[in-house]
């Protein structure tokens, strides 16, 4: 049995992520969508909120589960007995990052294999940053995220604009 993890920040989860996880579930017996608790990024959702949004996206799927984690991704793989790390690739710059990370991970844990899945054409431009930016300006993200995520974004930005937090968060990277 091959168990894979699909790790990421998922701030928030969008259709590009969902597509990769669903395709991974056709390749592996079990896929754990692993929500990293503290990436070096500014986040708008807490780890618990991001996990809840991911759980809702895959509710009822027989081979996809969701877990939060902290620390090294390869350590998390060892803890839960996963042999594969799945990542998604959109543009060439993703490849450079993933290539570096894959080599570093192999140095740390040669027993873990990294598998990259190329995005579907329609999701090439899609990133959590783009989704957050559009949602923060009141744009329509319904083709980019499931309805429950769109609702969570609307509520979060309404809350943030009341407390005027958004002005500090213009330069986000994905």
Rounded to a whole number of angstroms, the minimum distance from the CB of residue 111 to ligand ADP is 20
23 is catalytic: no
Structure tokens at 101: 């990370």
- If one asks whether residue 16 binds ligand ADP (CB under 6 A), the answer comes out as yes
Size of the site for ligand ADP (CB under 6 A): 17
Six token digits for residue 26: 């056709």
Q: Which is nearer to ligand ADP, 83 or 129 (CB)?
A: 129
Find the catalytic residue in 17, 87, 132, 156: 17
| Closest C-alpha among 94, 93, 115 to residue 25 | 115
- Could you say which residues in the range 115-174 bind ligand ADP, by CB under 6 A? 119, 123, 126-128, 174
Q: Which span (61-69, 82-90, 138-146, 160-168) binds ligand ADP, by CB under 6 A?
A: 82-90
Q: Which long-range contacts (CB under 8 A, 24 or more apart) does 155-158 make?
A: 156/44, 156/45
Q: Does 58 bind ligand ADP (CB under 6 A)?
A: no
DSSP sequence for 20-45: HHHHHHHHSSEEEEEEES--SS--SS
């Amino acid at each position: 049995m091959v168990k894979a993890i699909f790790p990421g920040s998922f701030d928030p989860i969008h259709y590009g992520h969902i597509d990769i996880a669903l395709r991974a579930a056709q390749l592996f017996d079990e896929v754990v969508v692993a929500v990293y608790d503290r990436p070096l990024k500014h986040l708008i959702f807490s780890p618990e909120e991001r996990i809840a949004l991911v759980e809702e996206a895959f509710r009822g799927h027989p081979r996809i589960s969701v877990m939060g984690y902290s620390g090294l991704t390869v350590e998390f793989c060892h803890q839960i007995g996963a042999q594969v790390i799945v990542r998604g690739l959109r543009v060439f710059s993703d490849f450079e990052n993933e290539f570096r990370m894959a080599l570093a991970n192999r140095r740390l844990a040669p027993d873990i294999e990294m598998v990259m899945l190329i995005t579907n054409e329609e999701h090439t431009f899609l990133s959590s940053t783009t989704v957050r930016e559009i949602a923060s300006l009141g744009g329509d993200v319904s083709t980019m995220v499931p309805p429950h995520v769109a609702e969570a974004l609307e509520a979060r930005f309404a809350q943030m604009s009341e407390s005027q937090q958004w002005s500090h968060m213009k330069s986000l990277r994905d």
